[in-house]
Structure 1
Amino acid sequence: MRRSLRTCLVGALTASALLSTGMASSSATPHNSAQPVSSAPPPGSEERDYAFNASATQSTTDFGGTADRAVDGNSNGAFDHNSVSHTTLEVQPWWQTDLGSSKKLKKLVVRNRTDCCTDRLSNFWVMVSDRPFKSADVDKARHERGVTAFEVGTLDAPSVQFALNRSARYIRVQLEGTGYLALAEVQAYGDNVVSPSAAAQSWVKNNPFGMFLHFNMSTFTNEQWADPATPASAFDPTGVDPDQWAKSMKSAGMQFGVLTAKHHDGFALWPTAYSDHDIANSPYQNGTGDIVRDYVKAMHANGLKVGLYFSIWDRHEGDSTALIENQLRELLTKYGQIDYLWFDGWGWQVPYSQIPYQPIRDMIRQTSPKTVVANNDHNSTLQTSDVIVYEVPVQGMPPATNARPTDGSDTLDTNQTWFHTTSTGAPRSAQDIVDNLNKAKAGNALYLLNVGPGRDGRLPQNYADRLDEIGALLNK
């Protein structure tokens, strides 16, 4: 028999409505009437999640499902995407977070895993308090002074939402019986909003069209993700022609480019002092021997703005804040103004609990104040990016109703490859690209179109020709 959701209000607390997200056959107690959680944030802004990257603990941990996974911004819900916290099989397992200080809360959202075992999140309580919970027993904890508790019987949807009108610092989720407790995400919202920066809005408005240049070790290992154990000697282009890249961008009507300075395998296209997996240890000696430098020079010579792709996830050196900050300082101080930094691997491979977003973003602001950040974490939040990223082959084009500054990253290749390999197909039609560019503009997004240079370091001629056609169509 399915139990309804009901609110247990302890002490002199005012009852508030409990709202469900897609929950079947569930209702609040009779004395609570459904009502809006809060007014919508201003256009282009979003509600701030106070629980993001907050301190989290749980009764036990199993299968590597640490408590911080439920406050890391990754609500994907799949365990193999590092999205799910997980306890052992035990009596009344619990998970909780400390927001750091009491926050005026209007809404809580608890998200279930989505890959399997969704029925495990049943017969549980969600509790909030300004004081630490004293008891590990669910009945005692929910009756502690100052605790507001919500009971959930059967969760029939990926998430459940609760309306609040009180301050709280501590949030606990706890099963009533014996089982595993697994959570995809716990989110807490109040009146605070995150608004886009003026710099991000200006960047998207003034730079609607750019070229993504996936050119790195993967081109030479003939795969989209190169093996991080591949020796630096494997990177051996017969010639690299950044001036051809830049002139093709101009011909297509683009304003900027983004070059993969370092992909997930960790190979650096510049001579970095912090890894031996770099161009200085490869056979490449053309130009200055530094592809990032030659690229930046060509971009500036052609009146184009400069973007760099940087993978936070480094499968060669490992993930460390020191490595990231040191390599970013090299890129941001040795080559002149870097207008756009495009991050990847963060959130979905390297959790924010391991490499926090805000300290890295603050370092970038101190080192290069005008640099705008796009972060491909698929979390779609301004809490971890200046510009929201849509990876178009995976997520589709940004919606026309979008009001936040957004990046729609797509491929010119009909086979949707990023690095040029033997799997790369023919270029899409010029009209198709122009149509998508117009869709992006309508949705407050820029359009970042990938063209992967071949092993010779040049854009394939059929791709260069198609870029010319795109430019001609735009100039009609």
Structure 2
Amino acid sequence: MRFARVRLAGALAALAVLSAGMTQATAAPAGKPPPPGSEMRNVALDTKPVQSSTYEGGTADRAVDGNVDGNWAGNSVSHTAQEEQPYWQTDLGKSQTLTKVAAWNRTDCCAERLTDFWVLVSDSPITARTLAEAKAQKGVTATKVAGTAGRTAEVPLHRKARYVRVQLEGTGYLALAEVQAFNDEVIASPSPAARKWVKDNPFGMFLHYNMSTYQDEQWADPNASPALFDPTDVDADQWAAAIKDAGMTFGVLTAKHHDGFALWDTAHSDHDIAASPYKDGKGDVIREYVDAMHAKHLKVGLYFSIWDRHNGDSVELIQNQLRELLTKYGQIDYLWFDGWGWQVPYSQVPYQPVRDMIRKVSPRTVVANNDHLGTLRTSDVIVYEVPVQGMPPETNARPTDASDTLDTNRTWFNTTATGAPRSASDITDNLARARAGNSLFLLNVGPDRTGRIPQDSVDRLKEIGSAS
């Protein structure tokens, strides 16, 4: 998991690498809508936009870099000066049929700066400075988005256009995390298995439990001794009972985080539980977890970091360790990747060969990949890391995972920085929002140093289960 957004330029450039072996993009049949949830091509990406002015380095190109996080510190936000009717505009390079334009808002603050704005499209350059003159220009289609945009605002279209403008109605700053313009070209469609997984499993528990808790850090030292992993009472039965009491149907346990420590006895690294004192080096937390989940008739998910700061990031290591996890423990229903595309580029570890291997050894496993690219080309399920990205939009039509934390301080691993549990109503409100947006809600609860979920979290999970 991340705590600050990493720019996506390298990952986006590497998308060409993973296209081999994937379904080629096709235009939707004439007169027919694309399959529900299909991913259309964003033709605004990496175009050359302009804006009416620029405020403190918030250049126009930040709104077409693929980074929708909306965090100023992560260079995600384009920004004009405060002025009358500021605008942002881009040239798509050629006229093409647009199906919608999406404007993404800033998330770290100042969401009100994207309020009462217009989306204008045209085949010809929009040259007017004022909104009234731009709307009156021949060939311009103008659509108002009233009020504050929220996380994102979408304007449906069905017309040919080459130029796209976003312009405020009043006086103020114009801040944009991203502007997307989609044509009628289908580049990916949701798999039936991913749709069914999200529909049938709307609520699950993320269990961040690994070396980080014993080092009191969210990202553990990859060179620390395995002897630090020394729990006194790993209680996977308690975890499974808490999942059941919360009304959840599945869990996702951190089999390996960024530091590379494996919670099973892997034959491909010495940085694992077999080198720890746990059960005299004969422990296997993955086995305990899987058995406890199956005893409660719960689905099994595992988190696996492609970015391995101890062992390195070789394709051979990744495939060998995944093969162990997917063949030694019975059916793994959900595999949640991290560190891929934002630390380990797809040019180094291509997506498609790994995905093909998973299909071969465990064909029913659904993959969620936390690369923040928001594309079905590198994931079966789109991941929203809620503390960083916010909740998915309720207009979302693709299978999506909204991963959030129970504790008020938004930590993932249980450490001294972990806060008290959030209120049951806070969690059930987000659960309802996720369901409205075709998303499952994956709520993190970190077991403590003993290996048990703290009692205040257990109590809150029961409360959530009674209320949801």
Q: Return the TM-score normalized by structure 1.
A: 0.63
Check if 1:44 corresponds to 2:37.
yes
Check if 1:423 corresponds to 2:412.
no
Distance 1:270 1:395, change over 3 A: same
Distance 1:81 1:352, change over 3 A: farther
Residue 398 of structure 1 and its aligned partner are, at CA, apart by 1.2
What is residue 326 of structure 1 aligned with on the other side?
A: 320
Distance 1:467 1:288, change over 3 A: farther
- Which aligned pairs between 1:304-315 and structure 2 lie closer than 5 A? 304-315=298-309
Letter in 1 for 2:348: Q
What is residue 280 of structure 1 aligned with on the other side?
A: 274
Letter in 2 for 1:377: D
- Which aligned pairs between 1:265-304 and structure 2 lie closer than 5 A? 265-285=259-279, 289-304=283-298
SS of residue paired to 2:432: helix
What do the CA deviations read for 1:187-207 (whole angstroms, capped 9, x no partner)? 997734311000000000000
Structure 1 residue ranges (4+ consecutive) displaced by more than 3 angstroms after TM superposition:
38-43, 72-78, 80-83, 186-190
Q: Distance in 2 between matches of 1:261 and 1:82?
A: 32
What is residue 220 of structure 1 aligned with on the other side?
A: 214
Q: Distance in 1 between matches of 2:280 and 2:455?
A: 21
Check if 1:391 corresponds to 2:395.
no
Residue 439 of structure 1 and its aligned partner are, at CA, apart by 0.9
Aligned equivalent of 1:433, options 427, 431, 452? 427
Letter in 1 for 2:259: D
Q: For the Cα contact (< 8 Å) 1:393–1:416, is it kept in 2?
A: yes
Q: For the Cα contact (< 8 Å) 1:376–1:389, is it kept in 2?
A: yes
Residue 310 of structure 1 and its aligned partner are, at CA, apart by 0.3
Residue 43 of structure 1 and its aligned partner are, at CA, apart by 3.2
Aligned equivalent of 1:442, options 436, 439, 458? 436
What do the CA deviations read for 1:182-228 (whole angstroms, capped 9, x no partner)? xx9x9997734311000000000000110000000000000100011
What is residue 242 of structure 1 aligned with on the other side?
A: 236
Q: Distance in 2 between matches of 1:39 and 1:312?
A: 39
- Provide the alpha-carbon RMSD of the alignment: 3.5
What is residue 336 of structure 1 aligned with on the other side?
A: 330
For structure 1, the residue ranges without an aligned partner over 5 or more in a row are 1-37, 53-71, 84-104, 108-150, 152-161, 165-183
- Which aligned pairs between 1:69-148 and structure 2 lie closer than 5 A? none
Distance 1:39 1:227, change over 3 A: farther
SS of residue paired to 1:456: coil
Q: For the Cα contact (< 8 Å) 2:274–2:282, is it kept in 1?
A: no
Structure index of larger Rg: 1
Q: Distance in 2 between matches of 1:203 and 1:289?
A: 31
Distance 1:286 1:302, change over 3 A: farther
Q: For the Cα contact (< 8 Å) 1:73–1:347, is it kept in 2?
A: no
Q: Distance in 2 between matches of 1:338 and 1:308?
A: 7
Letter in 1 for 2:40: E
Q: For the Cα contact (< 8 Å) 2:40–2:182, is it kept in 1?
A: no
Number of equivalent positions:
332
Distance 1:214 1:286, change over 3 A: farther
Q: For the Cα contact (< 8 Å) 1:81–1:348, is it kept in 2?
A: no
Letter in 2 for 1:250: K
Distance 1:261 1:73, change over 3 A: farther
Q: Distance in 1 between matches of 2:317 and 2:458?
A: 36
What do the CA deviations read for 1:304-329 (whole angstroms, capped 9, x no partner)? 00000000000111111111100000
Residue 399 of structure 1 and its aligned partner are, at CA, apart by 1.2
Residue 432 of structure 1 and its aligned partner are, at CA, apart by 1.1
Distance 1:189 1:228, change over 3 A: farther
Aligned equivalent of 2:361, options 361, 367, 386? 367
Q: Distance in 2 between matches of 1:77 and 1:353?
A: 26
Q: Distance in 2 between matches of 1:472 and 1:377?
A: 34
